[in-house]
Structure 1
Amino acid sequence: EEKARGITISTAHVEYETANRHYAHVDCPGHADYVKNMITGAAQMDGGILVVSATDGPMPQTREHILLARQVGVPSLVCFLNKVDAVDDEELIDLVEMELRELLSFYKYPGDDIPIVRGSALAALEGRDDDIGKNAVLELMAQIDEYMPAPERALDKPFAMPVE
């Protein structure tokens, strides 16, 4: 059903490392019934990747995710403008990026400074058009490593683990 409707319903968790850090990604579904999943996960995040479709631009759930990230204290975001291969006019992609930056600024994120990487997740998965596929994903990870500050951990304090 998810594939047919083009939305994510089930959650996914992936871990990997770059030269700088260990990452744990949680796919926060955009479906309204699953926003509580994002709230649960976002409260523990050091940063986030906001994925926005270049064909649709910021949707209502994009606005909701940015607001929730701000409310639960996600300190920084990096954006991936996905599906750029499905948009013929570069100016339309520029407009989507401008709209996204305005939306980020509205919710008190530094919209003018946040890195926005353009690419196509599908092209990366299919191994075609490396500029918007594999290289865009590598650029996204480089931007995350560079833009998101390393979190401060209170190693001198007792361990506290959240339980759902």
Structure 2
Amino acid sequence: ITPHTKFKAQIYVLSKEEGGRHTPFFKGYRPQFYFRTTDVTGSVKLPDNVEMVMPGDNIAIEVELITPVAMEKELRFAVREGGRTVGAGVVAEIIA
């Protein structure tokens, strides 16, 4: 397994009732991505036709991490904000 910084992912954003965000997020959103035991900040790129992501949505995104993380296709991760989980995802494709 080699370290990477850019990948495509499929994520589910927890709804407010599930303990997630109360408000949508937009492109440039910078949460922490929690792989195995490591929290790494990354920025989110949304598909061209998507302006925002609502709590409760499933969406395909592109992520660029600030530091490389060892990952492989189908690795699961959590999306966290200030220590609480706001989403869950899986690596769909490694870009770089």
TM-score by length of 1: 0.19
Which one has a larger percent strand, Structure 1 or Structure 2? 2
TM-score by length of 2: 0.26
Which one has a larger percent helix, Structure 1 or Structure 2? 1
**Higher Rg of the two aligned structures:** 1
